[in-house]
Amino acid sequence: ETGVTQTPRHLVMGMTNKKSLKCEQHLGHNAMYWYKQSAKKPLELMFVYSLEERVENNSVPSRFSPECPNSSHLFLHLHTLQPEDSALYLCASSLGQGSGNTIYFGEGSWLTVV
Protein backbone atom coordinates (compact mmCIF):
# COMPACT_ATOMS: atom_id res chain seq x y z
CA GLU A 1 0.00 0.00 0.00
CA THR A 2 1.37 3.38 -0.92
CA GLY A 3 0.34 6.96 -0.28
CA VAL A 4 1.47 7.85 -3.79
CA THR A 5 -0.56 6.29 -6.58
CA GLN A 6 0.50 6.21 -10.19
CA THR A 7 -1.53 5.30 -13.27
CA PRO A 8 -1.19 3.58 -15.60
CA ARG A 9 1.30 1.06 -14.26
CA HIS A 10 2.24 0.03 -17.78
CA LEU A 11 2.06 2.03 -21.00
CA VAL A 12 3.12 1.18 -24.52
CA MET A 13 3.06 4.03 -26.99
CA GLY A 14 4.23 4.78 -30.46
CA MET A 15 6.59 7.61 -31.21
CA THR A 16 3.82 9.78 -32.63
CA ASN A 17 1.34 9.22 -29.80
CA LYS A 18 0.37 11.60 -27.04
CA LYS A 19 -0.23 10.09 -23.62
CA SER A 20 -0.11 11.14 -20.01
CA LEU A 21 1.06 9.65 -16.74
CA LYS A 22 -0.91 10.50 -13.64
CA CYS A 23 0.18 10.69 -10.03
CA GLU A 24 -1.88 11.31 -6.92
CA GLN A 25 -0.59 11.61 -3.37
CA HIS A 26 -2.76 11.06 -0.30
CA LEU A 27 -0.21 12.19 2.26
CA GLY A 28 -0.97 15.89 2.55
CA HIS A 29 2.39 16.78 1.04
CA ASN A 30 3.12 19.99 -0.83
CA ALA A 31 6.05 19.00 -3.01
CA MET A 32 5.91 16.52 -5.87
CA TYR A 33 8.56 15.05 -8.14
CA TRP A 34 9.05 13.07 -11.32
CA TYR A 35 12.06 10.73 -11.49
CA LYS A 36 13.21 8.57 -14.37
CA GLN A 37 14.72 5.15 -13.76
CA SER A 38 16.36 3.41 -16.70
CA ALA A 39 18.57 0.36 -16.86
CA LYS A 40 21.74 2.19 -17.71
CA LYS A 41 21.58 5.25 -15.50
CA PRO A 42 20.99 6.06 -11.86
CA LEU A 43 17.67 7.49 -10.85
CA GLU A 44 17.36 10.91 -12.45
CA LEU A 45 15.34 13.81 -11.13
CA MET A 46 13.21 15.31 -13.91
CA PHE A 47 10.89 17.87 -12.35
CA VAL A 48 10.06 19.29 -8.95
CA TYR A 49 6.90 21.13 -7.96
CA SER A 50 6.61 22.93 -4.67
CA LEU A 51 3.25 24.43 -3.70
CA GLU A 52 2.12 23.75 -7.27
CA GLU A 53 4.92 25.84 -8.76
CA ARG A 54 7.65 24.24 -10.82
CA VAL A 55 10.95 24.84 -9.08
CA GLU A 56 13.17 22.44 -10.97
CA ASN A 57 13.41 21.40 -14.57
CA ASN A 58 16.46 19.23 -14.77
CA SER A 59 17.33 19.75 -18.45
CA VAL A 60 14.51 17.51 -19.56
CA PRO A 61 13.55 17.51 -23.26
CA SER A 62 10.41 19.40 -24.13
CA ARG A 63 8.69 16.21 -25.28
CA PHE A 64 8.08 15.71 -21.55
CA SER A 65 5.64 18.26 -20.17
CA PRO A 66 4.67 18.25 -16.48
CA GLU A 67 1.50 19.66 -15.00
CA CYS A 68 0.60 20.16 -11.36
CA PRO A 69 -3.02 21.35 -11.07
CA ASN A 70 -3.04 21.11 -7.26
CA SER A 71 -0.84 19.85 -4.47
CA SER A 72 -2.26 16.33 -4.68
CA HIS A 73 -1.96 15.68 -8.40
CA LEU A 74 0.89 15.61 -10.86
CA PHE A 75 0.86 14.70 -14.52
CA LEU A 76 3.55 13.99 -17.04
CA HIS A 77 2.38 14.62 -20.60
CA LEU A 78 4.26 12.69 -23.24
CA HIS A 79 4.47 13.38 -26.96
CA THR A 80 6.73 12.36 -29.82
CA LEU A 81 8.88 10.25 -27.55
CA GLN A 82 11.91 8.26 -28.61
CA PRO A 83 12.66 4.59 -27.90
CA GLU A 84 15.40 5.67 -25.47
CA ASP A 85 12.69 7.27 -23.33
CA SER A 86 11.49 3.79 -22.39
CA ALA A 87 11.97 3.57 -18.64
CA LEU A 88 10.25 3.44 -15.28
CA TYR A 89 8.85 6.83 -14.33
CA LEU A 90 8.51 7.37 -10.63
CA CYS A 91 6.39 9.99 -8.97
CA ALA A 92 7.21 11.09 -5.46
CA SER A 93 6.12 13.58 -2.85
CA SER A 94 7.38 15.17 0.35
CA LEU A 95 6.22 17.54 3.05
CA GLY A 96 8.16 20.61 2.16
CA GLN A 97 11.19 20.67 -0.06
CA GLY A 98 13.82 21.14 2.57
CA SER A 99 16.87 18.95 2.79
CA GLY A 100 16.37 15.94 4.96
CA ASN A 101 12.65 15.69 4.26
CA THR A 102 11.70 12.17 3.36
CA ILE A 103 10.58 11.67 -0.21
CA TYR A 104 7.90 9.03 -0.69
CA PHE A 105 7.68 7.21 -3.99
CA GLY A 106 4.88 5.64 -5.95
CA GLU A 107 5.19 2.25 -7.58
CA GLY A 108 6.05 3.74 -10.95
CA SER A 109 4.75 3.67 -14.49
CA TRP A 110 6.58 1.42 -16.92
CA LEU A 111 6.79 3.17 -20.27
CA THR A 112 7.73 1.42 -23.49
CA VAL A 113 8.12 3.51 -26.64
CA VAL A 114 7.89 1.52 -29.87
Partner 1 sequence: AQSVTQLGSHVSVSEGALVLLRCNYSSSVPPYLFWYVQYPNQGLQLLLKYTTGATLVKGINGFEAEFKKSETSFHLTKPSAHMSDAAEYFCAVSGDYGGSQGNLIFGKGTKLSVKP
* Residues contributing to the site for partner 1 (CB under 8 A): 2, 4, 6, 31, 33, 42-43, 45, 48, 55-56, 90, 92, 94, 96-108
**Buried-exposed string 62-87: b where 16+ CB fall within 10 A, e elsewhere:** eebebebeebbebbbebeebeeebbb
DSSP SS3 for 22? strand
| 40/69 with CB nearer partner 1 | 40
Q: Are strands 104-105 and 64-70 parallel, antiparallel or unpaired?
A: unpaired
Least distance to partner 1 from the beta carbon of 1, Å? 11
- CA 16 from centroid of its chain's CA atoms: 20
Please, which residue, 1 or 16, has the CB nearer to partner 1?
Answer: 1
User: 16 vs 98, which CB is nearer to partner 1?
Assistant: 98
